[in-house]
Amino acid sequence: MITAERKPLEEILAYIKPFKRILLLGCNECVTVCAAGGRKEVGVLASGIQMSMLKNGTSIEIREHTLERQCDPEYVEELLPMIDSADAVLSMACGCGVQQLATRFKDKPVFPAVNTKFMGGSDRHGVWTERCQGCGDCLLGLTGGICPIAKCAKQLMNGPCGGSARGVCEIGEDVDCAWHLIWERLKALDLTEQYLEIMPAKDWRPGGGSGPRKIIREDLAE
Amino acid sequence: MQKTERSQTNNRVLVVGGGLGGIRTALDLAEAQKDVVLIDRANNIGGLMTQLDRTFPTNNCDLCTLAPHLSESNRHEHISLMAMTEVQGISGEKGNFTVSLATRPRYINLEKCTGCGECLQQFPECVSFTPGLDHRAPTCMRYPQNTPQAYAIDLSKCDDVAGLVKCCPAGAINPDDLGSNGDIACSSIVMSPGASLFDPSGLDYLGYSENPDVVTSLEYERILSASGPTQGRLVRPSNGAQPKKVAWIQCIGSRGLQKGAAPYCSGACCMFALKEAMVTKERFQEDIETTIFYMDMRTFGKDYERYYERARDEFGVRFIHSRPHSILQHPGSDQLELGYTVDSNSSLQTEEFDMVVLSTGFKIGDQAKELANRLGLELTSSNFPANPGLNQVETSTPGIYVAGTFQGPKDIPETMVQASAAACMAGKDVTPLEADSEQEPLLPPERNVVGEEPKVGVFICDCGENIGGVINVESLITRLEKLNHVIVVKAEGHGCSRESMENIRQTIEELGVNRVVIGGCSPRTHESKFQDLIRKAGLNKYLLEFANIRDQVTWVHGHQPEQALNKAEALIKMAVGAVCESQPLADHSLPINKNVLVVGGGVTGMTSALELADQGFKVYLVERTATLGGVAAKLYRTLEGDDIQDFVSNLIKRTKDHEGIEVITGGIIVDHSGMPGMFTTGMQVGRQMFYRQIEHGVTILATGARPNRPELFELGNSKAIATQLELQELIDQDAARVKTWDNVVMIQCVGSRTADNPNCSRICCQNAVKNALSIVELNPEARVFVLYRDMRTYGFQEEYFQKAREKGVIFVRYQQDNPPQVDHADDQATVTYHDPILVREVKVSADFLALSTGLVADEDSSEELAMVFKLPRTEDGYFLEDHIKLRPVDLPVPGFFVAGTAHAPKTISESLIQARAVASRAMTILAREAINLGAVTAKVDSARCASCLVCVRACPFDVPFINADGYSEIDPAKCHGCGMCASECPAKAIQLLQFEDDQVLSKIEQLFEKVVA
Amino acid sequence: MKDFEPVIVAFCCHYCAYTAADMAGSKRLFYPSNVKIIRVPCSGKVDSLHIIKAFEKGADGVYVAGCLEGDCHFKNGNDKAAKKVAHMSKYLEEIGIEPERLEMVRMSAGMGERFAQVASEITDKIRKLGPSPIKAAAA
């Protein structure tokens, strides 16, 4: 899933300063799961904005709404009855959702209320970590299911660097060395010969190196 | 109270004594739909436990655990509660007793008294009892949950009777109250009047009478208690300073050493002292020193040994194995000097303390003895009711049962177990009343209010001076009448009086009120009463909100009447806001399957099965092995001399012959599903292992424990070395061989109280005493040495310990770090031990060495069953009960109960008591047609659910799961109603019914409506 | 500012603080009337949104009162509540409201004195802080 974190209130307030009526939009997908932009966070942010306004002696009209998914045009259509009564839209969805709105409502200013962070998963209740960088050419099959692109600070392809000590990366005590993990896992699986294979220099083009990416399923696309 | 005369039948049980045990007995019977009359001498029920600050071994606040039981017992429709009432005499026999009762005049009408305290204010000298506000005496009750919640008057101390009568705003004082005398008919009687505590005044060497800093353990408890005379500040009674050194002296009045002391052990005092010392250390840490002087530390209960270890190792409580012979205070000094000797040194030691606590034991007081005489009960030499056999709760008179400390000294969990067992026995002679026929016709159908505009009725109690004395109820009404949706606001005098309740009901019906707000006292005490009321008025009981304008407004803001009025208004507005958002809710209920599954065919399982089958329930008794009888089948005699073989074979015959019991031997439980009242359990049966399923409503686990056999002290390497279990068989089966022994050694705590198995096995000390006595009986010349760490012959077992010493059995204490050494030749064992009195090594050539190896949990079966049934276990593998204190045989999974040694090591008669207790507990479920699970449960809106797993992870009880449709599902039958999932759900897809977001937010909205605008 | 009387919302757990509040009542322990209690089945039921809405609507102070450590009727609701309170305090700071206006307290059902004392102390503290900045601006 895509993870996100709410932006500092100050930044959000700066975006919406010129406007009187705001549509504050949550998304019931990834940002709900990572507790950044579901119905609950929409309510909490609306309150925070309102109070910041009241504190300065002003006020703002905020309409709260949460879409099932902001990144699909059909769901966005749901906003038609309410979009006109808003001067601007503040979205708590990831960047995909924000852009979907901007594309659909060409004359409406759209602002992000969260910073989209990474593709990851939850380690435990309330903790999410990065798992994938969308390189477009998955090599997990060669690395024991552990990704050196997402998990190695240097994105090394052929074993650890000199900064790996006792399984920990030099950038921080709490960061595991991805290659150490890969080695331990391959050992456990009795697949260490995979480790010995030299991986050629990675072609970064499928990862976005040659411009915006697109997927077309011919059997489905109209 | 007039309820007792409502019918002339004898189809009821009389419970004498409203302490914790009596309340439990009464509740068990009432929940099994049987009528009970509960009487108590005192002005209110609750007994001794209401005076305690904290209870071992959880060190939780007592009041919080007891209070719900108190109010429940007053509310229950099958219980008639008579305070200030005593038994005068008895006639008749089992099944048909007539008991004459005398009730002292209270001069207060219980129906009218609101507990306001006006009489105490104006005529303090006339009030003989106050429900919870008196802190004059150190042992007074002082807690807000008194039942009944009413004062009592001593008219003889009153000069101005007319003035007194007039001062009561509720008109509750009745100077013409003559009390009452009357007979009641009943089928059986349970006696649980409790025991008294030993009065140490007569022991002049302790200086208890002269020195205020020498206190009893109960007095110390009151000093520690937040509701005690010092409001929880620990101070020396003599000078008000905080003590730096406190000592406890154990066995005061117990174990037969002082003037007037009892020969038995009081059983609970060691734990009591540990608890007090730990709570003291916890509070004052390094600022205080705590020392316990003891004879034997008797922490024999479930997990109690670990508690003892924690006190010693984590809390730094100091233990001295000694019995101080004097407490002196030198002239001019404010210190207490204890004189004592210790094992390692024969000279006199002295040490000064600021306070000394005397651990006084239980004793049957004159009143209880007199009561027993009036009932014609045979008594032992210690004045406890004599018990004819293995069933502890029976007495010499059939139909009269005993429980609690009146039966024998014990702690709270054992009292609760006996109380339930007594309910089981007493309930046999009473037929359950048809629950449905009594309630249903009274209730009108529920009006459908969904879709109606809220029409709120607000009813305000002035509660006499309690509310009306601080705020002007009329002006409050004027302010509230303008509120949105409110169609009527009325003052209702004492809202909870019968008359006012009737007025409220009429108003609701006449005006078509569809939401109700009560402005009055606390929902904690009165919500259910008003829920019942509005239900009678045709409304769903959840269309009600309480504004607590007494306990949380007028009682606490009496100094600021204007602010109090404003706050009362605000609270009622909040309640109106919330009630407008409330919706009718249905209590969840499930039909009950009335069959019982008993797992384990030992004496415990068979006894439970028989008790339930005798009362008409179908029982499946599943035993893993091929035969019934369990460990008891290998035993011959109890310490008291009962014939176990005979008992077990009778029990097996009765079980097999009973048409209500299906015995399944060779059955291994393999799967389980369902919920309380409708379980399905699968098992593989017999050599062919054919699969079979059973449907049942409750499950009783009586799977026992395993005799331990650790390879210690050369066990198994010589025929002269064996366990106590093997020794008792030899005594019975090969007396000729036993007679030839000149020297026998016994070693205690073999494989118990060790690092591997930290708990005490409880049964071994009495086993050693039993076998030692048998040996010296067979051969009076034999010399028996018992090497022990602490002799734990609790309760009446102590008398046998004393007898063994009289007969010349030698008891020698050894230290864990210096255990006896054992060598063996072919038919002899040589035991070398350190004798602390001779201060040297002693070597004994023994003809026989018996090792007290105790019991351990049967890991194989208990681990598997715990997995199948999803039940928690203790660290040592015994099943873990729901509440160690108050629900000792109920397991945390509703509908599951545990009895016997599957719960913890215990003797046969203790196991049998638990067997009957679980039968009683099971009947509280089986007597119902359906289980009511309440309405406060979490509800998922699947359209909003993002299947994020937050609820699954947040729930403390693992109830939510993502169902096959991909949405969170919460089973209302399993939901505990805490609301943690609702508060964490990021999609706002979960609501906790009765505490929904709309209701909470509406309260906030209403509170600030005016303030912000 | 002399006449300022704060409004304080106290979310109280049914099993401990709410009972303690009743106990304070039966002992007639006086405390300021500024504290308004909202009863919850467990302090873990208190929603971040409810806390923030209380401030938005005009509360000068909010506190959540749960059971003593290890005493939660539902295992760990009180600890969860404490975490939420800490999280919301930071948010208040971001908004520009003094985080001291929000607090987590713990007590057992028997602690009537403590309930009254906490109510007085928090009222005093909020009184010193003055009206909530959002109210001050509106006035």
Angle at B538 between CA B534 and CA B541, to 5 degrees: 45
| pLDDT over 90, % of chain B | 64
Whether residue B57 has a cis bond before it, omega within 30° of 0: yes
CB B590, CB B971: distance < 8 Å: no
Q: How far is B70 from chain C (nearest CA, A)?
A: 15
For residue B380, pLDDT over 60 is answered with: yes
CB-based contact C57 B1004, cutoff 8 Å: yes
Minimum-distance CB partner of A55 among C47, C52, C96: C96
Domain co-membership, B849 together with B758: yes
Query: Residue B49: what pLDDT?
Result: 64
Among B467, B455, B527, which residue's Cα sits nearest to residue B492?
B467
**Within 13 Å, how many C-alpha atoms sit on residue B648's CB side?**
20
SS (H, E, C) B791-845: CCCCCCHHHHHHHHHHCCCEEEECECCECCEEEECCCCEEEEEEECCCCEEEEEE
For residue B67, pLDDT over 70 is answered with: no
Query: Residue B860: what pLDDT?
Result: 84
**Does residue C137 belong to the interface with chain A, where contact is any CB pair within 8 Å?**
yes
Minimum-distance CB partner of B953 among A29, A66, A125: A125
Domain co-membership, B622 together with B606: yes
The question of ipTM being above 0.90 is answered as yes
Domain co-membership, B354 together with B274: yes
Q: What is the DSSP string of B368-386?
A: HHHHHHHTT--B-TTSSBP
CA distance B395 to B374: 14
Q: Does any domain span residue B61? A: yes
Domain co-membership, A178 together with A102: no
More confident residue, B873 or B737: B737
Query: Residue B70: what pLDDT?
Result: 52
Q: Does any domain span residue B437? A: no
Structural domain of B201: 196-363
CA distance C97 to C91: 9
Sequence-ordered list of residues with C-beta below 8 angstroms from that of B243, at least 6 positions apart, any chain: B213, B234, B235, B236, B288, B353, B354, B355
Domain co-membership, B220 together with B340: yes
Angle at B123 between CA B122 and CA B127, to 5 degrees: 130
Pairing type for strands A114-124 and A110-112 reads unpaired
CB-based contact C55 A44, cutoff 8 Å: no
CB-based contact B988 A43, cutoff 8 Å: yes
CA distance B651 to B294: 41
Pairing type for strands B698-701 and B690-696 reads unpaired
**Does residue B61 belong to the interface with chain C, where contact is any CB pair within 8 Å?**
yes
CA distance B591 to B448: 25
pLDDT in tens, A143-190: 999 999 999 999 999 999 999 999 999 999 999 999 999 999 999 999
Which residue among A59, A83, A118 closes a domain? Answer: A118
Which residue among B311, B338, B363 closes a domain? Answer: B363
Joined tokens for residue B479: 């302010």
Using a CB-CB cut-off of 8 Å, the residues of chain B touching A38 are: 946, 948, 986-988
Residue B556's CATH number = 3.40.50
Low-confidence winner among A11-15, B86-90, B141-145, C15-19 (lowest mean pLDDT):
B141-145
More confident residue, B434 or B224: B224
Q: How far is B963 from chain A (nearest CA, A)?
A: 17
Q: Which 3 state secondary structure label does DSSP give B326? A: strand
CA distance B344 to B332: 33
Domain co-membership, A30 together with A106: yes
Q: How far is C105 from chain A (nearest CA, A)?
A: 23
Pairing type for strands B690-696 and B678-685 reads antiparallel
Locate the chain A residue with the closest alpha carbon to B951. Answer: A125
Q: Does any domain span residue A176? A: yes
Among B132, B107, B40, B129, which residue's Cα sits nearest to residue B79?
B40
Domain co-membership, A174 together with A91: no
Using a CB-CB cut-off of 8 Å, the residues of chain B touching A33 are: 946, 948-950, 986
**Does residue A55 belong to the interface with chain B, where contact is any CB pair within 8 Å?**
no
For residue B244, pLDDT over 80 is answered with: yes
Cα distances (Å, whole numbers) of residue B309 to B299, B312, B444, B862: 10, 5, 59, 26
Cα distances (Å, whole numbers) of residue B192 to B18, B82, B195: 8, 15, 9
Domain residue ranges in chain C:
8-138
Domain co-membership, B452 together with B572: yes
Cα distances (Å, whole numbers) of residue B151 to A147, B43, B494, B632: 75, 8, 16, 52
- A/C interface, count of CB pairs below 8 Å: 47
Residue B213's CATH number = 3.50.50.60
Domain co-membership, A43 together with A149: no
Query: Residue B976: what pLDDT?
Result: 84
Locate the chain A residue with the closest alpha carbon to B954. Answer: A125
Radius of gyration of chain B (CA): 31
**Does residue B559 belong to the interface with chain C, where contact is any CB pair within 8 Å?**
yes
What predicted TM-score, i.e. pTM, was given to this entire model? 0.69
Domain co-membership, B896 together with B849: no
Domain co-membership, A8 together with A103: yes
**Does residue A65 belong to the interface with chain B, where contact is any CB pair within 8 Å?**
no
Minimum-distance CB partner of B978 among C25, C36, C41: C41
Interface-testing mutation among A3, A5, A28, with chain B (most B C-beta atoms within 10 A): A28
The DSSP bridge partners found for residue B340 are B349
**Does residue A125 belong to the interface with chain C, where contact is any CB pair within 8 Å?**
no
Within B94-136, strands assigned E span 96-103, 127-129
Interface-testing mutation among B224, B983, B1010, with chain C (most C C-beta atoms within 10 A): B983
Q: Which band of pLDDT confidence, cut at 50, 70 and 90, is reported for residue B439?
A: very low
Contacting C residues, span 8-37, partner chain A, CB-CB under 8 Å:
none
- A/B interface, count of CB pairs below 8 Å: 37
Minimum-distance CB partner of A35 among B944, B986, B989: B986
More confident residue, B282 or B955: B955
Q: How far is B886 from chain C (nearest CA, A)?
A: 15
CB-based contact C22 B548, cutoff 8 Å: yes
Domain co-membership, A8 together with A112: yes
Domain co-membership, B557 together with B454: yes
Which residue among B399, B431, B463 closes a domain? Answer: B431
CB B428, CB B487: distance < 8 Å: no
Q: Does any domain span residue B439? A: no
Mean pLDDT rounded to a whole number for chain B: 88
Q: What is the DSSP string of B576-598?
A: HHHHHT----PPPEEE----EEE
**Does residue A40 belong to the interface with chain B, where contact is any CB pair within 8 Å?**
yes
Query: Residue A210: what pLDDT?
Result: 86
Q: Does any domain span residue A212? A: no
Q: How far is B1010 from chain A (nearest CA, A)?
A: 16
Residue A19's CATH number = 3.40.50.2300
| pLDDT over 70, % of chain A | 100
Pairing type for strands B930-932 and B589-591 reads antiparallel
CB-based contact C53 B67, cutoff 8 Å: no
Minimum-distance CB partner of C137 among A40, A50, A57: A57
Domain co-membership, B99 together with B189: yes
Which whole number is the average pLDDT over B278-298?
91
CB A64, CB A49: distance < 8 Å: no
**Does residue A115 belong to the interface with chain C, where contact is any CB pair within 8 Å?**
no
H or E element, residue B896: strand B896-898
Domain co-membership, B152 together with B189: no
Residue B159's CATH number = 3.30.70.20
Among B111, B822, B926, B48, which residue's Cα sits nearest to residue B498?
B111
DSSP-assigned letter for residue B780: T
Query: Residue A147: what pLDDT?
Result: 96
**Does residue B528 belong to the interface with chain C, where contact is any CB pair within 8 Å?**
no
| Sign of the CA dihedral with A51 first, then A54, A56, and A59 last | positive
CB B856, CB B708: distance < 8 Å: yes
For residue A48, pLDDT over 60 is answered with: yes
Q: How far is B893 from chain C (nearest CA, A)?
A: 14
Domain co-membership, B268 together with B227: yes
Identity of the highest mean pLDDT range in A9-18, B81-90, B165-174: A9-18
Joined tokens for residue B29: 């019977």
The tally of domains found in chain A comes to: 2
Q: Which band of pLDDT confidence, cut at 50, 70 and 90, is reported for residue B838?
A: confident
**Within 13 Å, how many C-alpha atoms sit on residue B214's CB side?**
25
**Does residue A29 belong to the interface with chain B, where contact is any CB pair within 8 Å?**
yes
Place of tokens 């969805």: A93
pLDDT in tens, B358-368: 999 999 988 88
pLDDT in tens, B9-53: 788 999 999 888 898 899 899 888 899 999 988 877 766 666 665
| Sign of the CA dihedral with B204 first, then B209, B215, and B221 last | positive
Structural domain of A47: 2-118
Minimum-distance CB partner of B983 among C38, C46, C54: C46
- B/C interface, count of CB pairs below 8 Å: 162
CATH number of C8-138: 3.40.50
pLDDT in tens, B446-470: 999 988 999 999 999 887 667 888 8
Q: Does any domain span residue A216? A: no
Domain co-membership, A102 together with A156: no
Which residue among B580, B615, B636 closes a domain? Answer: B580
Q: Does any domain span residue B394? A: yes
Domain co-membership, A42 together with A81: yes
Which whole number is the average pLDDT over B540-558?
93
The tally of domains found in chain B comes to: 7
Q: Which band of pLDDT confidence, cut at 50, 70 and 90, is reported for residue B55?
A: low
Using a CB-CB cut-off of 8 Å, the residues of chain C touching B1012 are: 57-58, 135, 138
Minimum-distance CB partner of B987 among A38, A124, A125: A38
Minimum-distance CB partner of A32 among B948, B953, B954: B948
CA distance B568 to C33: 10
Q: Does any domain span residue A55? A: yes
| Sign of the CA dihedral with B606 first, then B610, B611, and B613 last | positive
